[in-house]
Structure 1
Amino acid sequence: MLGHLGFSYVGLIYLLMLFIPNIIWSKSQPIDSEKTHENKVLIWFERVGQVGCTGSVLIFNDFNIATFSAWSLWLISSFLLMIFYEICWIRYFTNEHTKGKLYRSFYGIPVPLASLPVMAFLLLGIYGEVIWLIAFGIILGIGHIGVHIQHLKAIKKVE
């Protein structure tokens, strides 16, 4: 349950799926972007979760693909959530770059650019049976989803 040390190529793939759209986004900020005052506690949770998840997915080889079994459905479900995450980024990049487009739901999933990768990392942690990723995923979820909900509420006040 603690994890076996070793490089995870699956973790690297997840991080690439996470970081590449975010790098592109840094050059395609919403046109109606303005500074939002974010809760410092949520930011702290987000940063700790980001560092913990990034490290965990790379240093535990339990996430690498093993012989197919019913347990593999955790990995498949996790990867599908990452695919949905990529679709949400494509949806943002191919539309007008506004905060409303950035935070809109995806088939009923609120703030999908925050919630989908968090859920994917939690399922990946279950698949690999690595308590560290599960714990850091929960910490990340509290902060990252919390901050995004805060942004969404600020947008709705303006509308």
Structure 2
Amino acid sequence: MEMGHFGFSWVGFIFLVMLMVPNLFWAKKKPAGYSSADENRVLRILERIGEVLVTFCLLTFTDLNLHGWSVDIWWLITAFILMILYEIWWIRYFRSPGRLEDFYGSLLGIPVPGATLPVIAAFFLGLYSRLFWLQGAALILGIGHIGIHLQHRRQLTQKEEGHAQQR
């Protein structure tokens, strides 16, 4: 098993741009009532570690760059389709009233797509490049990031159920 080849990855850079640009806009249009104060501490730590590791892997392994046609190219294509769906989800959110329901709503049946889509895409990039490091980093990120989003969605559902019972 190879450890990976160091160097700059254009594919990883494009992937990170697709990931980060909407998040920069989100910083100015967070959902009304959004708070990270009650997030599970362990999940938050895993999320941060995963973010650093995924970013490092995406930028520093040339294995992610295009390397000819093979059956593995389908992992790359699937990863970018997931990222396009991620961009569509962001567009839908930015065109919405910007409520928590809009932010944590599903897309095409995919739960918490703002967390799920990029994590799965990163894992698929790891499959394409055969980078165990990226696959592991995506798993760590997924546990933290998806876990936090599910926690927020669960809190939102409980809050909505509480309001419904009061009526």
Deviations 1:87-134 (A, max 9, x none): 000000011101110010111110000000000000000100111100
What's the RMSD between the two structures over aligned residues?
Answer: 1.0
8 Å Cα contact 1:36-1:151 kept in structure 2: no
Q: State the alpha-carbon separation in 1 of the partners of residues 137 and 13 from structure 2.
A: 17
Q: Please, what TM-score do these two structures have when normalized by structure 2?
A: 0.92
Aligned letter for 2:57?
S
Q: State the alpha-carbon separation in 1 of the partners of residues 130 and 30 from structure 2.
A: 37
Percent identical across equivalent pairs? 47
8 Å Cα contact 1:99-1:155 kept in structure 2: yes
Across the two proteins, how many residue pairs are aligned to each other?
159
1:32 counterpart = 2:33: yes
Which residue of structure 1 lines up, in the alignment, with residue 54 of structure 2? 53
Which residue of structure 2 lines up, in the alignment, with residue 110 of structure 1? 111
8 Å Cα contact 2:72-2:127 kept in structure 1: no
1:65 Cα deviation (Å)?
1.1
Q: State the alpha-carbon separation in 2 of the partners of residues 76 and 35 from structure 1.
A: 33
- Name the SS for the 1:68 alignment partner: coil
Q: State the alpha-carbon separation in 1 of the partners of residues 118 and 3 from structure 2.
A: 21
Q: State the alpha-carbon separation in 2 of the partners of residues 34 and 59 from structure 1.
A: 33
Q: State the alpha-carbon separation in 1 of the partners of residues 30 and 134 from structure 2.
A: 29
Q: State the alpha-carbon separation in 2 of the partners of residues 148 and 37 from structure 1.
A: 12
Which residue of structure 2 lines up, in the alignment, with residue 157 of structure 1? 158
Greater gyration radius: 2
Q: Please, what TM-score do these two structures have when normalized by structure 1?
A: 0.97
The list of structure 1 runs, each at least 4 consecutive aligned residues, that deviate by more than 4 angstroms after superposition, is none
1:71 Cα deviation (Å)?
1.4
Which residue of structure 1 lines up, in the alignment, with residue 3 of structure 2? 2
